[in-house]
Amino acid sequence: DTAVSQTPKYLVTQMGNDKSIKCEQNLGHDTMYWYKQDSKKFLKIMFSYNNKELIINETVPNRFSPKSPDKAHLNLHINSLELGDSAVYFCASSFRTGDGYTFGSGTRLTVV
Amino acid sequence: GIQVEQSPPDLILQEGANSTLRCNFSDSVNNLQWFHQNPWGQLINLFYIPSGTKQNGRLSATTVATERYSLLYISSSQTTDSGVYFCAVESGANSKLTFGKGITLSVRP
């Protein structure tokens, strides 16, 4: 029933590992996003996809690679995890023409 | 890019009090939303309000787009209102939300 769902909710992993976070939305939205919330609670966009095509890539390291198999899914793969990648990652979706964004419940990533 | 400033940064209220949270933005916007991040980290969409006034129970919001600000009113505050309130805007053709730094609200019983 959840509109935007992310998995996993928590992820603890060692430096150097590769991990993925999955996101799915059932709202029929055509645009999906990844946002990062740092330790000071600041939220910043990382990527945006519209109908499976990348439209925003905000100076994110190449270790981060989003993949959108269809417009209802946007996954985030992170290679060679670093301590500084520890944060909460939020997936969101919207219609490109507006009407508001809906956020998932977040994935808390801790790199040790 | 567009700048979003929220004030005050922190707010402490006694249960039952009213409050006003402010969001100023530096350019015209085609989307403005208020979110509440609860203590469990969930981002709850409160209002989609690029202009005008909306009300939802004890909460209401007003955006004066021509003067580039929005206000969120909380009346008869409850402890469950505690958390961080974010204002976020979308401007121009860029399909992304730019967030303010948030207002941390603590409502004490």
pLDDT tens, position by position, A87-110: 999 999 998 766 689 999 999 999
> Inter-chain contact A98–B31, Cβ cutoff 8 Å?
yes
Smallest Cβ distance to B41: which of A50, A88, A102?
A: A88
CA B46-B58-B62 angle, to 5 degrees, is 60
The secondary structure of A72-111 as a DSSP string is TEEEEEE-S--GGG-EEEEEEEEETTEEEEEE---EEEEE
Query: DSSP assignment, residue A5?
Result: E
pLDDT value of residue B23 = 98
> Inter-chain contact A33–B96, Cβ cutoff 8 Å?
yes
Residues 6 or more apart from A59 whose CB is under 8 A from it? none
pLDDT value of residue A98 = 63
Residue A70 CB coordination number (10 Å): 9
| A1 has pLDDT over 80 | no
Residues B86 and B55: their CA atoms lie apart, in Å, by 17
